[in-house]
Amino acid sequence: MSAGHSATEAHQPVFVGEVRQKLDALFPKYPTRQACLLPALWLVQEARGWISEGAIHEVAEVLSLTPAYVKGVVTFYTMYHTHPVGRHFIQVCTTSPCNICGAEDVAKAFLQHTGCGELGATSPDGRFTVIEVECLGACGFATPVLIDDDFIENVTPERVPGILQGYK
């Protein structure tokens, strides 16, 4: 996932050049354009790091949907970002089993070592955003963390600085 893009970029068309080619290549694989909605949103997020109002309207136009329908999908799924996020998006599972195993301390360690300060905020250097998530589906390997597309199990507060070294 690419992130850290400027707000002005959010007003530029997304579906041009290579991104448009990727979208066009999806159409034959789905029965309708509407069925391409989730992959189209992934393309936007991959290109921009988040999905702006302008991008919602562009997706709606390209797929012959209403902006309200597209926005409903974007806001339903937590995997889509509706505001700019850091270059590396860190999700810490804090569901009950993970919480019992110290997930809150893991989240605090990520906030401290990234400089984010609070959940949902982006670090001053634009590199990191840390959030809590309800479940990453790895209760037997508490505390699981998802950084971008990298799934990391058995994270402890002590491991956080070493983990972050790989994302500099």
**Angle, nearest 10°, between helix axes 67-76 and 53-63?**
120
CB neighbour list of residue 91: distance below 8 Å, 6 or more residues apart: 131, 132, 133, 136, 145, 146, 147
pLDDT for residue 92 is more than 80: yes
pLDDT for residue 3 is more than 60: no
What percent of the chain stands above pLDDT 70? Answer: 93
Residue 122 DSSP label: B
Peptide bond into 95 cis (omega under 30): no
The answer to whether residues 136 and 147 touch, using CB atoms and an 8 Å cutoff, is no
State residue 10's pLDDT score. 55
Average pLDDT for 126-139: 91
- Top-confidence residue, 130 or 9: 130
Domains and CATH numbers, the chain: 8-76 (1.10.10.1590), 88-165 (3.40.30.10)
**Rounded distance between C-alpha atoms, residue 45 and residue 37, angstroms:** 12
Average pLDDT for 84-112: 94
pTM: 0.74
Find the angle CA(38)-CA(41)-CA(44) to the nearest 5 degrees. Answer: 155
State residue 9's pLDDT score. 54
